[in-house]
Amino acid sequence: FNGAQSSAIILSLIETAKRNGLDPEKHLVYLLSNLPNESTLTDKEALSAYLPWEKAAQANCR
């Protein structure tokens, strides 16, 4: 069950990146490189900066 859930999350991130014109690999690297540096992962405002349609994600992941 945990493996299937993890796969679904990763595939969702990849497809969302593609639909927003990003390179999926660059977007995953961007997320995995920057999210661990956030002080909290429950702050919706802080997390929204990593959404694929945001300017920073667009600039870093094309």
User: What pLDDT shows up at residue 2?
Assistant: 82
Give the phi and the psi of residue 5 in degrees, each rounded to 5: -65, -40
Query: Two tokens at 50?
Result: 């990593």
- Is the pLDDT at 20 greater than 80, yes or no? yes
Task: Record the pTM.
Answer: 0.83
User: What pLDDT shows up at residue 42?
Assistant: 86
Number of separate domains in the chain: 1
Greater pLDDT, 10 or 46: 10
The whole domain housing 38 covers 2-60
